[in-house]
Amino acid sequence: MAVTAVVGANWGDEGKGKIIDALAAESDYVVRFQGGSNAGHTVINGYGKFALHLLPSGVFHPAVGNVIGPGVALDVEVLQAELQMLAERGVPAPRLFISDRVQIVLPVHKLLDGLEEERLGSKSFGSTRRGIAPFYADKTLKLGIQAAELADGALLQDRLQQLLAQKNVLLPHLYGQETVDPAGWAELLTTQGRWLAPYLCDTTALLRKAWSSGANILLEGQLGALRDPDHGIYPFSTSSSTLAGYAPVGAGLPAYAIGSVTAVVKAYSSCVGAGPFVTELHNSQGDELRRRGGDAGEYGATTGRPRRMGWFDAVATRYGCLIQGATGAALTNLDVLGYLDQIPVCTAYRLENGEVTEEFPVTARLTGATPVLQQLPGWKCDISTVTRYEDLPEEAKQYVSFVEKAIGVPVTMVSVGPRREQLIRR
């Protein structure tokens, strides 16, 4: 396996958690390389059903090293809660390594995130209000606080004063809120620093050594290609790169270390958050697909919000696989479509000016776009117990073949249910 990146081909919610959980059994390390607690990966195994927001999805395998890399937005309170949840549900304490360079999500980041969404009103970007955009803004402005700085009281006070100077102008004058006293926060962060200390290390050195020795390393992406701030549906994007090309940066490996990229592709489309979504269903078909989707319906793992639903979008998925540099695809939730006589798929977009295109356009040209649909035959049966690809109904195999041809990437795994054993390798 060497180094494999597992990333999303669409808007997120593709089922990356399950794929990582399954592949982790063959891995030495699983690494989160970007994003924060603003999205979740759902994992179902012998311990139960879990939604992970910061912990890598390899935590259910006791021998696996789980790494939170320097590219992550670390919310210490969320991490503490996740580790406590695992312990309470009987999961052995994971081997966890956290980069001493990782930066900390502060309460003011979450405060500003919520206040800005309220200020924007109907023009908001669908933020989860977990502080991600303000966090990455501070990181770019060189105001962020690294985990290693929490152990130095004087340095921490100085860094907090520097970071809050700008915020304490914005809070009363733009948002009508009280200013923040850095003194009170220093104590909180010092306490968090003491808790973090046993997990902190130079994860770059750790992973370089592991990679040099031939270890199997999984790099776990958050969200999907279409939420990337450079190549996605900006400004309805996240604030860190969701692409496999960023994975070695956020993990601390050389760019040439990645040997393969698995893009996770859903058999239909789903999306949490704002922004253009061409195949979206605003009718009973969407409600039915949402109800049947996944183990307990299609709802955001972080927010619980109902996911926006649509048919498979070949235009968006082909583009997502292209910018991810996918060498293979994992097709998830194929079993969900078993209730349909005919399965619509989107093969092109009709833009507002009447142009029909098979290329994914810039956000400004997506306004008013409608899907060009093709009908594929359904298989009208339960495939959740199928364990071999050749035993799938012919119509299901035709659907997989259509996806392969449409995205230009071989489908190497087919998921027919939420559990790790419901995964067909090809």
Pair type for strands 269-271 and 342-350: unpaired
Told to judge if 13 belongs to the known catalytic residues of this protein, a careful annotator would answer yes
What's the one-letter identity of residue 101?
R
> Would you tell me the crossing angle of helices 394-407 and 314-324 to the nearest 10 degrees?
60
| Strand residues in 193-299 grouped as ranges (E) | 200-201, 217-224, 258-266, 269-271
Q: Which of 12, 96, 111 is nearest to 56 (CA)?
A: 96
Identify the DSSP state of 280: B
Q: Which helix (H) or strand (E) holds 330?
A: strand 328-332
Strand partners, 308: 271
Handedness of CA 120, 319, 297, 377 (dihedral sign): positive
Q: From the candidates 41, 53, 109, 231, which is the catalytic residue? A: 41
Work out the burial of residue 362: count CB atoms within 10 Å of its CB; fewer than 13 is exposed, 13-18 middle, 19 or more buried: exposed
Task: Quickly count: other Cβ atoms within 10 Å of residue 82's Cβ.
Answer: 21
Instruction: Please give the structure tokens belonging to residue 326.
Output: 């996918």
Task: Please report, for residues 53, 273, 404, 411, the alpha-carbon distance to residue 128 in angstroms, rounded to integers and kept in the order given.
Answer: 12, 8, 33, 32
Q: Which residue has the tokens 């502080």?
A: 131
At 424, phi and psi to the nearest 5? -95, 125
Give rounded-to-5 percent helix, strand, coil for the chain. Answer: 40, 25, 40
What's the one-letter identity of residue 20?
I
Q: Which helix (H) or strand (E) holds 346?
A: strand 342-350
Integer Cα distance of 142 and 127 in angstroms: 23
- Within its chain, how far is the Cα of 14 from the centroid? 9
Told to judge if 41 belongs to the known catalytic residues of this protein, a careful annotator would answer yes
Identify the DSSP state of 327: S
Integer Cα distance of 370 and 355 in angstroms: 11
Q: Would you name the residues annotated as active-site residues?
A: 13, 41
